Amino acid sequence: DQQVKQNSPSLSVQEGRISILNCDYTNSMFDYFLWYKKYPAEGPTFLISISSIKDKNEDGRFTVFLNKSAKHLSLHIVPSQPGDSAVYFCAADYGGSQGNLIFGKGTKLSVKP
Amino acid sequence: GAGVSQSPRYKVAKRGQDVALRCDPISGHVSLFWYQQALGQGPEFLTYFQNEAQLDKSGLPSDRFFAERPEGSVSTLKIQRTQQEDSAVYLCASSLVETNSEQYFGPGTRLTVT
């Protein structure tokens, strides 16, 4: 039973347009959420995070939105660039004494020139 | 500065062999995590260390898996009597504190059991 779900395995976007990657979760105990980007043959790279006390966090071209009532978060990339093409993983943290992250299966983003 | 490093990057083992995978975390990072990533899946938690103490090993799939971090820095994940289902990428991550903090991942070790 997946606690973090990324229902779109892939997404294709034109360069310069907005990319929106979605993530749903089932466990209301999660209180910290992260997005990671992964290129082939490399480990995941931290992109942006958001605490459950916020509903938005922005860092340059990347913005994460959190809707706690819907148990949904999204990552917006504006404008999208070809170098953004990668697999994006959504992850959640229980907080407290547990530190391990629960990951979704990932969404492969392709940004076409 | 140096990131998380892992060795070897690739390992091929015959079924039944023992393997040892090494992780060098970022200097000063208290927490160290091991994850297993199967093809087409997200990373799945295996075990967690805070300094040298193994605080959570609930994700280890069987007693053939063993991890240690004896001096609170370098960690080794050992798999005994490898099976084909152990084939995966094994990722190590470290973080400055144990929770609500970004984890920094190494490049992973791709293990193939033949």
Instruction: Look over chain B and give the mean of its residue pLDDT values, rounded to a whole number.
Output: 94
- Distance (Å, rounded) from C-alpha A62 to C-alpha A7? 20
Whole-number pLDDT of residue B2: 81
Contact A37, A88 (CB under 8 A): yes
Q: Rounded to an integer, what is the distance from CA B49 to the centroid of its chain? A: 11
Q: Given CB atoms, is B27 within the 8 Å cutoff of chain A?
A: no
The 10s digit of each residue's pLDDT in A2-38 is 899 999 999 999 999 999 999 999 999 898 999 999 9
CA-nearest of B29, B103, B41 to A44 is B103
Q: Do the Cβ atoms of B108 and A43 come within 8 Å?
A: yes
The 10s digit of each residue's pLDDT in A36-79 is 999 998 999 999 999 999 999 999 999 999 999 999 999 999 99
Pairing of strands A56-59, B44-50: unpaired
Contact B34, B75 (CB under 8 A): yes
Whole-number pLDDT of residue B87: 97
Non-local CB neighbours of B103 within 8 Å, separated by 6+ positions = A34, A46, A101, B31, B33, B93, B94, B95
Residue B101 has pLDDT above 80, yes or no: no
Length reported for chain A: 113
DSSP A71: T
Whole-number pLDDT of residue B99: 64
Using a CB-CB cut-off of 8 Å, the residues of chain B touching A34 are 102-103
Q: What percent of chain B has pLDDT over 90?
A: 88
Backbone angles phi, psi at A95, to 5 degrees: 75, -170
Using a CB-CB cut-off of 8 Å, the residues of chain A touching B45 are 100-102
Residue B1 has pLDDT above 80, yes or no: no
The 10s digit of each residue's pLDDT in B15-39 is 999 999 999 999 999 999 999 999 9
Q: How confident is the model at residue B96 (pLDDT cuts 50, 70, 90)?
A: confident
- Distance (Å, rounded) from C-alpha A3 to C-alpha A74? 16
Helix (H) or strand (E) run with residue B15 in it = none
Mean pLDDT of all residues in B54-65: 94
Using a CB-CB cut-off of 8 Å, the residues of chain B touching A93 are 99-100
Instruction: Give the mutation candidate from B36, B39, B69, B100 for the A interface (greatest A CB count, under 10 A).
Output: B100
- Distance (Å, rounded) from C-alpha B70 to C-alpha A11? 43
Whole-number pLDDT of residue B53: 94
- Distance (Å, rounded) from C-alpha A54 to C-alpha A73? 11
Whole-number pLDDT of residue A94: 76
Residue A76 three-state SS: strand
Non-local CB neighbours of B44 within 8 Å, separated by 6+ positions = A103, B35, B36, B37, B38, B59
